[in-house]
Structure 1
Amino acid sequence: MLKALVLAAGLGSRIRAVAGDLPKPLVPFGGDAILAHNLRWLADSGVREVWINLHYAADAIREAIGDGEAFGLRVHYVYEPELLGTAGALGNIRQAFDETMLVVYGDSVVRCDLAALQARHYVQKAEATIALFDRDRHAHTGIAGGRVRITADQAVERFLEGIGDAVADPLVNAGVYMVEPTILDLIPTAGLVDFGRDVFPQMLQQGRRLSAYVIEDGGYCLGLDTPQSYAAGVALLEQGKVSL
């Protein structure tokens, strides 16, 4: 059974006008907190054990989610006195990272077929597989995620983080990864380490197997980390273009 890490330690500075004092993962969206939607999705997809990294308003998240029983999950919390980054958070639980693990960004609402993602990951014999959405095909909120170029056999050949609309490649990092413990050599035991800026580029430089899964039709990626992207997500929900 898959384990998952949900990244929930961000400061939420850009969405403060919407969130107030709430941490991003607890911002209400479609009748519940963003994090609650993510946990239900993981549980419905067969995940049973989840780690959540914490920093800003950690106690509020612990109180809202509890031990995870309400979601059909066993939840572990890992507090970060200093932010470690998206990959550093995974390195921080390396003792638990002893098999394939799913990583999900806690300030987004994504829907894709996790069983299909896992199948692609295993078929490709990848060390990491990135879920991608097509900005021309899938519902999204205009997030400036990393742009990805892939080969005909779904291997990643280029990854550019945080470039917005600077290139024409339509495939965008959806913030959902399937990863193997063998990538731990790329994650130092201290300091801030990011998947998009550090780990994935190093994998490509070293010729390691970094694969892609373009999410299926009907899937979507709603980044909800700014007032603008939040408003776009609410509009998509109200228009019936996405369902939770």
Structure 2
Amino acid sequence: MAAQKNNTLHTHITSVKKGERAFENAFQSVSRMILGQKIDKVMVNGKSTFDFQIFRESKKHIIGMYDEINSFVSFVKDASEGGSSKEMAFVLVGEPGNGKTFLVEYLCGIYRNFLSIPENRKYTFRFTNLDQIGGYGNIKTIESQTYEDPMVLAMNTHESRAESEQYLTRRYRVSDAELMQWYDNYRPLGACSAYIWNDIRNFTDGKIEDMLNFVEIVPVPLIESLGTVTGK
């Protein structure tokens, strides 16, 4: 029974509120991963620049590329703070064989390792017991098709955003500052999730605690070939 209780949305929200689990976008995760490690100052071509040691750690690590790495870190840091970079893409341009692909693959590798640490792990949700509702054939469980974060579901529990905010404030005693921080990463549910959630709402007459009995929280798989976190 204990394992089952750990898979509830209630447990996940409580863990996020306590800081035991993270709710952040990819920019915030990558920024925290890089800036949380040692940073040295070095002289390159007569100029002082930062050397982020996370890119120099493994046996087969990145050599040089100071300008590219510093530009990338500035981009990610700005995006993580809600700057204009959040709406942009970072593009590496150069001749074949100059290390672009290696840099991307290295970054993806250390990011997957970072997410494998329990407090950094990404979670998603799946809908269970769908055979009780009907209309889904023999399908009993459907996972979020885009691995949506459970907190996205938490911010869309009710039909309106205002009702969802009130629910979180009342149920979890969330402060205005915490709520604002969560809703900085707000997004509506995807079409598939919203459709199923509405079916569950109708089946339970909108009773939120009954609705949550159809939700189970699971870790996002970090298998490289699946491309669920860093692409293939």
TM-score (structure 2 length as normaliser): 0.22
Q: Comparing both structures, which one devotes a greater share of its residues to helix?
A: 2
Q: Which structure has the larger Rg over C-alpha atoms?
A: 2
**RCO (CA 8 Å, sep 6+): is it higher in 1 or 2?**
1
